[in-house]
Amino acid sequence: MKTTALCAMALLAAGCARQPDQIAATPVATDRYLQMSCAELLASRTGRQTAQVRLEQAQHEAAEHDKAAMSVIHVPVASMTGQDREDEVARGKGELVAVDATIQSKGCG
């Protein structure tokens, strides 16, 4: 019985939202950025950085909610209610890497 409870808790914990700094960037091809001018790339990066900050704040809140819920009711509520934005955070990080790589390859300031 004790082993079953521990296994169930481990499975639930595995479903918890992760902190943004624990999420790796999803690889994104730079192809669609190659045709952009430096001004467009820099504007794109600024917009993406702003969006990424918002996404990471939401992800941090989801991770904190899951952490609190797990300590009280042993259920990752934020993850179960669709508040986990891990995929979006990873994609956003990947987009920023792709934009930055293109900016660097084009020698934009």
What pLDDT score does 77 carry?
Answer: 64
- Locus of tokens 């952490």: 67
Q: Compute the distance between CA of residue 48 and CA of residue 3 in angstroms, rounded to an integer.
A: 45
Which amino acid, 84? D
Please give the tally of structural domains in the chain: 1
Q: What is the pLDDT along the chain (109 residues), one digit of tens a residue?
A: 444 343 345 444 457 889 999 999 999 999 999 999 999 999 999 999 999 999 999 999 888 887 877 777 777 766 677 778 899 999 999 999 999 999 999 999 7
Tell me which residue range forms the domain holding 64: 2-106
Q: Compute the distance between CA of residue 50 and CA of residue 44 in angstroms, rounded to an integer.
A: 10
Q: Compute the distance between CA of residue 26 and CA of residue 6 in angstroms, rounded to an integer.
A: 32
At 49, list the tokens. Answer: 């950085």
What pLDDT score does 48 carry?
Answer: 97
For residues 20 and 85, the answer to whether their CB atoms sit within 8 Å is no
Q: Compute the distance between CA of residue 68 and CA of residue 2 in angstroms, rounded to an integer.
A: 23
What pLDDT score does 83 carry?
Answer: 76
What pLDDT score does 37 carry?
Answer: 96
**pTM (whole model) above 0.95:** no
Q: What are the φ/ψ torsions at residue 107 (nearest 5 degrees)?
A: 75, 30
Helices (H), 15-107: 38-72, 77-80, 86-106
